[in-house]
Amino acid sequence: MNPVDGKEGPPDVCIIELGGTIGDIESMPFIEALGQFSYRVGPGNFCLVHVSLVPVLNVVGEQKTKPTQHSVRGLRGLGLVPNILACRSTEPLEENVKAKLSQFCHVPISNIINLHDVSNIWHIPLLLRDQRAHEAILKVLDLQFVGKVPRQPKLVEWTERASKFDKLKATVKIAMVGKYTGLSDSYLSVLKALLHASVAMGRKLVVEWVPSCDLEACAAKETPEAHKKAWKLLKGADGILVPGGFGDRGVQGKILAAKYARENNVPYLGICLGMQIAVIDFARSVMKLPGANSTEFDPDTTSPCVIFMPEGSKTHMGATMRLGSRRTYFNVTTCKSAKLYGNARFVDERHRHRYEVNPEMVPEFEKAGLSFVGKDESGTRMEIIELPNHKFFVGAQFHPEFKSRPGKPSPLFVGLIAASSGQLETLLQPSPIIVNPKPVPKPINGTVGPKKTMYPNGHAKKPLDSLVYFANGNVIHT
């Protein structure tokens, strides 16, 4: 019932994704719940889109429909009947394959949507539009018309963005320093945020994965080749990003990465732990506190730069994190971060952490030159750090990647890409303000009537009874 697009009133359609594979025991309770839900709300209020794989045997070269047939049969056996099939494949589906799927899965050919490989993932909505997937969904939910005007997807801006993505030539190279670099999905949100920002700044993103463990001094003896390669990648990057994480493995390598960026004026963005290790490096290198550390890694440190949250509990498992959207106030309005956020007085960003900068050491840090430009409403939690004389050295305790979108990239990620591609100064220049007054609506009979809210679904008992649901069959990751 709660809108998530910033508009007032309850939404017309709720979209739910159930991942995994049909038949897996983990998803059984959710399958049963959705089966009961579909029966309760009735026809016209529930649309099931089943995602499945249509593989090709390289030897034969034939598109095989059996995986989809079996997953649909399994889905039916669990009480759910798919209205639409979304078929993943490397190449466009042949017409005879669609006809076969329609016959054996009992789904109209017009409701069989093909999601084949494309040059970039932003072409997928255009692919769905070209196959009239929106019409199939709206027909199932009886939402085809509003005031007798056909609904058409508004994808002009999206089409331009997808086309722009394909035409990017100039590259920007970002070194991602972490300990899970062997599995890129571990940093998927960060990767997407980098992609959104790089396209917005007209650059083709190149991510160099740098295992933080390989940057450490011990790696020079144990794995000299990996050590040499890691440092070569780091030094060859246009910008450095250290994402969030937990545990002490690879932390020293991350600290070295932050130190390299600070000393060599290389653009740097630290997120959550990435901000904390930047603070630790500053304490060790600039403030000459060699024992500086986080109590997460060294509980007995003599210079605890980062400490466990005062209200947290170390004995109770679960619910010990500072989670969700929190407000950050800018106390330095001329800083780069505030300018990137459009000179806002405050921002709301999402958090996920247990440790934070020690507020008792903040005066010492600021005296040494580290600026805490963003704090919470109490002024005791440090949210954003900056080095004023650096090209771009920013750390955020929150996770800005969580709110990044293709059409609205995260400001801090835009700042990193802009600084790494030599566009930051231009980006931070104040743009001229052009005032275009909106026309005043003409009164009817002397008054301007209130805008009426229209609920297009005649079947719905409640505004949220219309639901589009995606249940994955055989899943492929690209």
Question: Residue 200 and residue 401: Cα distance in Å, rounded?
Answer: 15
DSSP one-letter string for 164-179: HHHH--SEEEEEEEES
Q: Is the pLDDT of residue 23 over 90?
A: no
pLDDT at 473 over 90: no
Sorted by where each begins, the domain ranges of the chain are 27-161, 170-428
Residue 446 CA, chain-centre distance (Å), reads 48
Mean pLDDT across 252-280: 96
Residue owning tokens 């000299």? 224
To the query of whether residue 272 is one of the catalytic residues in this protein, the response is yes
Q: Return the higher-pLDDT residue of 314 and 263.
A: 263
- SS3 percent helix, strand, coil of the chain, rounded to 5, is 35, 20, 40
Report the percent of the chain where pLDDT is more than 70: 86
Judge whether 27-161 and 170-428 match in fold. yes
- Reduced to 3 states (helix: H, G, I; strand: E, B; else coil), residue 84 is strand
**pLDDT the model gives residue 167:** 92
Pair 431, 437: CB distance under 8 Å: no
Using N-to-C axis directions, what is the helix angle for 273-285 and 251-263, rounded to 10°?
70
Q: Which residues pair with 270 in a beta bridge?
A: 242, 395
Q: Is 47 an annotated catalytic residue?
A: no
CB 85 within 8 Å of CB 107: yes
Element (H, E) at 458: none
Using pLDDT thresholds of 50, 70 and 90, give the confidence band for residue 150. low
What pLDDT band is residue 472 in, cutting at 50, 70 and 90? Answer: very low
What's the CATH code, domain 27-161?
Answer: 3.40.50.300
pLDDT digits (tens, 9 = 90+) for 49-108: 999 999 998 888 899 999 999 999 999 999 899 999 999 999 999 999 999 999 999 999
Catalytic member of 105, 272, 305, 335: 272
Cα–chain center distance at 206: 18
- In the chain, the N- to C-terminal Cα span, in Å, equals 33
Which of 7-21, 124-138, 309-323, 395-409 shows the lowest mean pLDDT across its residues?
309-323
**What are the C-alpha distances in Å from 245 to residues 63, 193, 274, 298?**
42, 17, 8, 16
Distance CA 283, CA 270 (A): 16
- Cα–Cα distance for residue pair 30/79, rounded to 1 Å: 12
pTM of structure? 0.82
pLDDT band at 311 (very low <50, low <70, confident <90, very high): low
Q: Quick check: 381 and 398 in contact, CB under 8 A?
A: no
Angle at 385 between CA 379 and CA 388, to 5 degrees: 120
pLDDT at 211 over 50: yes
* Average pLDDT over every residue of 146-155: 71
Query: Which of the two residues, 249 and 439, has the higher pLDDT score?
Result: 249
Per the annotation, the verdict on 399 as an active-site residue is yes
Residue 110's pLDDT band (boundaries 50, 70, 90)?
very high
Give the CA distances from residue 327 to residues 86, 152, 397, 417, 445, in Å, rounded to whole numbers and listed in that order: 40, 37, 12, 24, 45
Greater pLDDT, 228 or 321: 228
Which residues make beta-bridge pairs with 265? none
Could you please state the CATH topology (level 3) that the domain comprising 170-428 is classified under.
Rossmann fold (3.40.50)
Q: What is the mean pLDDT of the chain?
A: 86
Q: What span, in angstroms and rounded, lies between the C-alpha atoms of 193 and 196?
A: 5
Q: What is the pLDDT of residues 55-65, one digit of tens each?
A: 998 888 899 99
| Catalytically annotated residue among 216, 296, 386, 401 | 401
